[in-house]
């Protein structure tokens, strides 16, 4: 607006020098240029606004798609946990009571251990094979009605000889269960994520088997006694308990408190669950920052040292607690590829 006024003033002052028509033409040209510049400025502003809104919408769509995928779950159809502390669902519920007494570690020349009395052998490999056999027997005993099971995939945490012992025993006691000679390796939270992907939209009868066993070596200087346990999960599209993808934490990569909040958001929760099943993590000083109830249900005294099998044990106990009490239950443990893995298990009635 100032530009035409200035040009008008200049034209008036130079009227005696410049012809009126020429001055008028100059003012018109300058005004046209100014109008064109204004239109270009408005167009530039509107295009920026449009691009910003399009980017916001695209980002929102990507975020919604990520959360939709991230919140997918899988159903736990059957589960088995064999250890010195518990071998049945009823035994597992006792671990959450205040009057529960953990098993007494056995003293040996090399150190302390929490071993099953049903498992024999001094060699780690032999004990794990016997653990696998005991796992097969317990699964067979727990099954209400023998039925054909041919898993889509089988994942195993442990040695190949232990898996072969498990398969051989299942062939003897449950011939309708068809298992491969060689399973795929269990890779912690990565494998759980893969299993959830495989069962999305699958037929209701589709099954994925995840199992493992471990007998930890006895070490004199270890602050925990050597532990041993065996775990089995049979997953399907539907089940009484829902397993989520969970979250992972790596030291120096992200704040543990942020990871814990994302795990809650994954299941649509705003506050931590009342119960969190875990093992102590003395090498993770950030643990209290998670804000979860991580001290009340620590399983060190019940299971001893179970480095590679920690997550499967606490997830099984969390699933049993969620099914029994119909409330979400959190879990936290080590992971093969990350410092920690954590997540929440829900009963089908409480799942969102």
Token pair belonging to 267? 């299941």
Distance CA 154, CA 227 (A): 24
Query: Which domains, and CATH codes, for the chain?
Result: 2-12+19-68 (no CATH), 71-347 (3.40.47.10)
Taking Cα atoms as reference points, which of 190, 238, 191, 196 lies closest to residue 68? 196
The mean per-residue pLDDT over the stretch 6-32 comes to 65
Report which of residues 113 and 23 the model is more confident about: 113
User: Which whole number is the average pLDDT over 75-94?
Assistant: 94
Mean pLDDT over 59-80 rounds to 92
Burial class (CB in 10 A: 0-12, 13-18, 19+), 300: middle
How many residues comprise the chain? 352
Average pLDDT over residues 30-34: 80
Q: What is the distance between the alpha carbons of residues 292 and 332, in angstroms, rounded to a whole number?
A: 10
Kindly indicate the confidence band of residue 146, based on its pLDDT and cuts at 50, 70 and 90: confident
Residue 130 has pLDDT above 70, yes or no: yes
Residue 17 has pLDDT above 60, yes or no: no
H or E element at residue 217: none
Please state, for a pLDDT cut of 70, what percent of the chain lies above it: 91
pLDDT in tens, 204-228: 999 999 999 999 998 887 889 999 9
| pLDDT of 352 | 41
154-175 pLDDT, tens digit each: 999 999 999 999 999 999 999 9
Classify burial at 85, counting beta carbons within 10 Å of its beta carbon; exposed 0-12, middle 13-18, buried 19 or more.
buried
Cα–Cα dist 68/114, whole Å: 42
Residue 350 reports pLDDT greater than 50: no
249 touches 259 (CB < 8 A): yes
pLDDT at 25 over 90: no
333 is written with which tokens? Answer: 């443990």
Q: Which of 71, 117, 26, 52 lies closest to 245 in space, CA to CA?
A: 71
């Amino acid at each position: 607006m100032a530009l035409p006024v200035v040009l008008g003033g200049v034209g008036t002052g130079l009227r005696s020098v410049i012809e009126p028509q020429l001055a008028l033409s100059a003012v018109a040209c300058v005004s046209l240029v100014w109008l064109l510049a204004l239109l270009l400025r408005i167009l530039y502003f509107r295009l920026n606004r449009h691009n910003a809104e399009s980017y916001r919408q695209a980002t929102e769509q990507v975020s919604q798609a990520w959360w939709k995928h991230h919140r997918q779950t899988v159903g736990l159809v059957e589960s088995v946990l064999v250890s010195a502390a518990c071998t049945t669902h009823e035994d597992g519920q006792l671990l959450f009571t205040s009057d529960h007494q953990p098993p007494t570690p056995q003293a040996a020349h090399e150190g302390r251990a929490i071993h099953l009395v049903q498992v024999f052998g001094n060699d780690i490999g032999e004990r794990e094979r016997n653990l696998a056999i005991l796992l097969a027997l317990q699964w067979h005993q727990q099954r209400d009605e023998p039925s054909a099971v041919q898993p889509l995939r089988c994942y195993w945490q442990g040695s190949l000889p232990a898996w072969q012992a498990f398969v051989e025993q299942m062939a003897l006691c449950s011939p309708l269960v068809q298992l491969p000679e060689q399973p795929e390796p269990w890779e912690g939270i990565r494998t759980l994520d893969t299993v959830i992907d495989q069962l999305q939209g699958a037929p209701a009868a589709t099954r994925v088997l995840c199992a493992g066993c471990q007998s930890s070596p006895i070490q004199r200087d270890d602050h925990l006694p050597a532990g041993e346990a065996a775990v089995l999960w049979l997953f399907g599209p539907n089940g009484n308990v829902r397993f989520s993808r969970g979250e992972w934490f790596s030291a120096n990569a992200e704040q543990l408190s942020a990871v814990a909040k994302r795990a809650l958001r994954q299941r649509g929760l705003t506050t931590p669950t009342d119960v969190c099943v875990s093992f102590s993590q003395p090498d993770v000083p950030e643990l209290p920052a998670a804000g979860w109830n991580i001290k009340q249900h620590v399983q060190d005294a019940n299971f001893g040292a179970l480095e590679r099998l920690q997550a499967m044990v606490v997830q099984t106990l969390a699933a049993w607690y969620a099914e029994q009490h119909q409330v979400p239950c959190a879990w936290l443990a080590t992971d093969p590829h990350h410092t920690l893995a954590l997540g929440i298990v829900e009963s089908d009635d409480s799942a969102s």
